[in-house]
């Protein structure tokens, strides 16, 4: 693991959390949190990514509110008020910062739960992305009223390599929706598709609080190192990791 620096910053009026290895980093990852906002767990993810040699910048969905000091009821209220288009606009502001001021050559996106869903949507909207990683994405069979974009349909328009880490016992994304997502991704004309399924693991298995269930802890222990390797491989290769048909 590399030595890192980490701090809270402001980008274009948006609060964010920033972590990077000491010295210059070629590649980076935009992190999209779960319902916790930029809580301790998400900051730890960012620091792990920085320790693996990439710059990490974390989007703040709730503009300063997180599970560090807010009850879950408040976070649920804020989550239910998120607007897909407004979220994507904020994320693209952070991407502009990563490619501009931070001078990164290649940037991917990783999201957890609600952020996993938004990562798929952002991946379909911004072709600068070198990868898309969706950790147990929260994709409902019937979209909540505040969600105006079909994430599964959007996934079919992602050109970059995609990795999805699915909880086998997920109570939010049904087996039918997961099958539809898998089929959509595998039918793309470009971009590798990596689908990981963890039988018996629960939605949010990457979160430390769920690791009292040994199935969740084991799923995270297997998945996280592979995510870090996937992120590094797709953001530092000369071809940005994209696989396109020949001929």
Sequential DSSP letters for 160-229:
S-EEEEEETT-SSS-HHHHHHHHHHHHT-SSS-EEEEEETTPPTTTTSGGGTTSHHHHHHHHHHHHHHHH
Beta strands 106-112; 4-11: pairing state: unpaired
- More confidently predicted of 167 and 243: 167
Q: What is the pLDDT of residue 239?
A: 39
d(CA 159, CA 142): 26
Domain ranges of the chain: 4-234
pTM above 0.85, yes or no: yes
Name residue 29's beta-bridge partners. Answer: 56, 108
pLDDT tens column, 65-93: 999 999 999 999 999 999 999 999 999 99
pLDDT at residue 237, as a whole number: 60
What would the two tokens of residue 14 be?
A: 């948006």
CATH class of residue range 4-234: alpha beta
The total of other beta-carbon atoms located within 10 Å of residue 150's CB is 14
The mean pLDDT of the chain is 94
Give the pLDDT band (50/70/90) at residue 240.
very low
For the segment 16-40, what is each residue's pLDDT rounded down to a tens digit?
999 999 987 999 999 999 999 999 9
Q: What is the pLDDT of residue 55?
A: 97
Query: What is the pLDDT at residue 242?
Result: 36
Distance of CA 60 to the CA centre of its chain: 13
pLDDT tens for 93-143 read: 999 999 999 999 999 999 999 999 999 999 999 999 999 999 999 999 999
- Do residues 111 and 180 make contact, with C-beta atoms less than 8 angstroms apart? no
Q: 152 pLDDT exceeds 90?
A: yes
């Amino acid at each position: 693991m590399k030595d890192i620096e980490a701090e809270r910053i402001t980008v274009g009026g948006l609060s964010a959390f920033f972590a990077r290895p000491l010295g210059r980093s070629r590649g980076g990852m935009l992190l999209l949190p779960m319902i916790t906002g930029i809580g301790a767990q998400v900051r730890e993810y960012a620091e792990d990514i920085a320790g693996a040699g990439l710059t990490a910048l974390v989007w703040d969905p709730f503009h300063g509110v997180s599970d560090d000091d807010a009850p879950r009821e408040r976070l649920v209220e804020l989550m239910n008020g998120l607007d897909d288009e407004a979220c994507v606009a904020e994320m693209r502001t952070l991407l502009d910062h990563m490619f501009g001021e931070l001078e990164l050559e290649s940037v991917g996106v990783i999201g957890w739960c609600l952020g996993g869903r938004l990562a798929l949507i952002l991946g379909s909207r911004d072709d600068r992305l070198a990868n898309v990683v969706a950790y147990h994405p929260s994709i409902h069979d019937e979209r909540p009223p505040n969600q105006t974009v079909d994430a599964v349909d959007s996934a079919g328009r992602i050109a970059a390599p995609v990795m999805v880490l699915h909880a086998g016992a997920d109570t939010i994304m049904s087996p039918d929706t997961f099958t539809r997502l898998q089929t959509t991704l595998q039918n793309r004309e470009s971009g590798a598709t990596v689908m990981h399924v963890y039988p018996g693991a629960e939605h949010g298995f990457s979160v430390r609080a769920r690791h009292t269930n040994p199935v969740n802890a084991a799923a995270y222990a297997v998945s996280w190192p592979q995510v870090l390797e996937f992120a590094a491989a797709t953001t530092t290769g000369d071809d940005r990791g994209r696989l396109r048909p020949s001929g």
